[in-house]
């Protein structure tokens, strides 16, 4: 038994979709969430900058004596993978578990990946999937506009702008005849109904948040580190103004949250 919290970070608020899945999978665990809203997005930054931000985010979370760190960010998980491995507590990203789930789901071996520009450039999901199944064919598409659409709440199933954007992004993957699609950015599960409508029921969507939560459960269980008497409490921290946080967080978490969110200065955990 280990009642210490789980630390989760993201470049902004999309990582709350991972928290949402963690609360379902591990309902007794307490969570400390850091959204780096002052430096979002990570997906357009240089690899060196992304690795530095990843290290700083981990450093902040370690102040809370966390037992596990989760990079709830496709970009940090892809580009900052070595930073996560170097931590003195277990630290995982969203890539490996998601890749394994996609390989298990596909029948044709033709898998699409949606992510940020940085995630797509690293081909981290592709590498991880080919490690599981060398003959898999991977078709990746950077979708930078999706992040803005989600964070502005343009996620209704009948939203014409979001539908038009999604159709344009998905067209190359439709032409590639994929049968499985990885939602490689933690914002993207909120667009799943729209994406499924466009792709049809013949394509299986893989939610990186859900698969990462399952992986965290297995890791903690194997280490005999599950929390037995927690209440699923969450503490929220951001690096820019917390104004309006509760409204956006409720959209990501699927449940009401309090306005108890703290703003931190990233300079405080830079080396």
Q: Looking at the predicted structure, is the pLDDT value of residue 180 above 90?
A: yes
Instruction: Give 120's contacts (C-beta < 8 A, 6+ positions apart).
Output: 113, 140, 141, 142
Q: Across-strand partners of 70?
A: 8, 92
Q: What is the DSSP letter of 31?
A: E
Q: What is the pLDDT of residue 271?
A: 77
Q: Looking at the predicted structure, is the pLDDT value of residue 47 above 90?
A: yes
Provide the 3-class DSSP secondary structure of residue 55.
helix
- How far apart, in whole angstroms, are the C-alpha atoms of residue 112 and residue 125? 10
Q: What is the pLDDT of residue 259?
A: 67
Q: What is the pLDDT of residue 222?
A: 97
Of the candidates 20, 3, 25, the one whose C-alpha atom is nearest the C-alpha of residue 187 is 20
Decide if 69 contacts 61 (C-beta within 8 A). yes
* Catalytic residue status for 73: yes
- How far apart, in whole angstroms, are the C-alpha atoms of residue 7 and residue 18? 11
Instruction: Give 204's contacts (C-beta < 8 A, 6+ positions apart).
Output: 105, 106, 179, 180, 181
- How far apart, in whole angstroms, are the C-alpha atoms of residue 156 and residue 153? 8
- Could you tell me whether strands 31-35 and 6-10 are parallel, antiparallel, or unpaired per DSSP bridges? parallel
Q: Looking at the predicted structure, is the pLDDT value of residue 245 above 80?
A: no
- How far apart, in whole angstroms, are the C-alpha atoms of residue 236 and residue 220? 22
State the catalytic residue, choosing from 143, 185, 227, 234.
Answer: 185
State the catalytic residue, choosing from 73, 143, 227, 234.
Answer: 73
Span 87-122, pLDDT tens digits: 999 999 999 999 999 999 999 999 999 998 989 999
Span 17-37, pLDDT tens digits: 999 999 999 999 999 999 999
Mean pLDDT (whole number) for 138-154: 93
Q: Which two tokens stand for residue 83?
A: 């930073």
- Could you tell me whether strands 234-238 and 204-207 are parallel, antiparallel, or unpaired per DSSP bridges? unpaired
Strand order in the sheet with 6-10: 91-92, 68-71, 6-10, 31-35, 234-238, 261-263
Q: What is the pLDDT of residue 49?
A: 96
Structural domains of the chain sorted by starting position, each given as residue range(s) with its CATH number in brackets: 6-93+210-269 (3.40.50.1860), 95-208 (3.40.50.1860)
């Amino acid at each position: 038994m280990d009642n210490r919290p789980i630390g989760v970070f993201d470049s902004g608020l999309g990582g709350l979709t991972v928290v949402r899945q963690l609360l379902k999978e591990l309902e007794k665990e307490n969570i400390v969430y850091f959204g780096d809203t002052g430096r979002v997005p990570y997906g357009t930054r240089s690899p060196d900058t992304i690795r530095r931000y990843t290290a700083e985010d981990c450093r902040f979370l370690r102040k809370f004596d966390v037992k596990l760190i989760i990079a709830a960010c496709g970009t940090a998980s892809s580009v900052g993978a070595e930073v996560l491995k170097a931590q003195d507590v277990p630290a995982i990203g969203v890539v490996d578990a998601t890749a394994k789930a996609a390989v298990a789901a596909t029948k044709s071996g033709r898998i699409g990946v949606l992510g940020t520009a940085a995630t797509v450039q690293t081909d981290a999901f592709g590498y991880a999937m080919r490690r599981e199944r060398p003959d898999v064919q991977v078709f990746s598409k950077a979708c930078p506009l999706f992040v803005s659409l989600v964070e502005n709440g343009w996620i209704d199933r009948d939203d014409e702008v979001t539908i038009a954007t999604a159709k344009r992004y998905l067209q190359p993957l439709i032409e590639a005849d994929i049968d499985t699609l990885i939602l490689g950015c933690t914002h993207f599960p909120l667009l799943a109904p729209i994406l499924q409508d466009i792709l049809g029921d013949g394509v299986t969507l893989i939610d990186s948040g859900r698969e990462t939560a399952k992986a965290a459960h297995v890791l903690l269980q194997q280490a005999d580190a599950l929390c037995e008497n927690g209440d699923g409490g969450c503490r929220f921290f951001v690096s820019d103004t917390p104004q309006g946080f509760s409204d956006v967080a409720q959209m990501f978490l699927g449940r009401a949250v309090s306005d108890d969110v703290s703003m931190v200065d990233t300079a405080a955990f830079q080396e």
